[in-house]
DNA sequence: TTAATGACCTATC
DNA sequence: CGATAGGCCATTA
């Protein structure tokens, strides 16, 4: 089990219609300092079909300017397709769509 | 092995 | 409130 795999497990557990931040994923992965590593892990993205990196945004809820899905707006479109709304600044309402793993009801 | 970079976050001026 | 500097961890050359 590598640091990356742990991060992938967290990202893959993100439900549709919600988004998570790098710092939060890093924290769930085990260390809050892995924020940069999380971004790197998603950058390599060995399994984009099972790793919805488009549901991962930064602390400000903004998407990456150098997204690899075919355009930063592509990520926004995917999230909107999930039901996530965006602001005129291209940011997500973390206060409304921020993923809460503790509220998942356990399972 | 050392040096440099990165889809980040936090604190300070 | 806006911009700049530093720190952290892992990967790559």
Identify the H or E element spanning A50. none
pLDDT tens-digit map of A24-57: 999 999 899 999 999 999 988 999 899 999 999 9
Q: In 10 A of CB A46, how many CB atoms?
A: 10
Indicate the pTM of the whole model.
0.89
Q: Which of A53, A56, A57, A92 is catalytic?
A: A53
Distance A78 CA to B9 C1' (A): 26
pLDDT tens-digit map of A67-100: 656 677 888 889 999 999 998 888 899 989 999 9
CA–CA separation, A9 vs A51, rounded Å? Answer: 8
C-alpha to C-alpha distances, A103 to A6, A45, A63, A99, A106, nearest whole angstrom = 20, 27, 24, 9, 7
What pLDDT score does A106 carry? Answer: 65
Q: Specify whether A53 is catalytic.
A: yes
Confidence of residue A13 (pLDDT cuts 50, 70, 90): very high
Nearest-nucleotide field for A25 (CA, C1'): B8
Q: Strand B: which residues have Cβ below 7 Å from it? A: A 21-23, 35-40, 42-43, 45, 53, 56, 58-60, 64, 66-68
Residue owning tokens 């990520």 = A75
Confidence of residue A63 (pLDDT cuts 50, 70, 90): confident
């Amino acid at each position: 089990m590598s640091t990356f795999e742990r991060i992938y497990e967290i990202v893959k557990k993100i439900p549709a219609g919600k988004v998570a931040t790098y710092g939060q994923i890093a924290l769930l992965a085990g260390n809050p300092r892995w924020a940069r590593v999380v971004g790197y892990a998603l950058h390599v993205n060995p399994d984009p079909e099972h790793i919805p990196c488009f549901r991962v945004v930064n602390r400000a809820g903004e998407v990456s300017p150098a997204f690899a899905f075919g355009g930063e707006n592509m990520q926004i479109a995917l999230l909107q397709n999930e039901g996530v709304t965006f602001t005129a600044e291209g940011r997500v309402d973390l206060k409304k769509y921020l993923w809460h793993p503790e509220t998942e009801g356990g399972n």
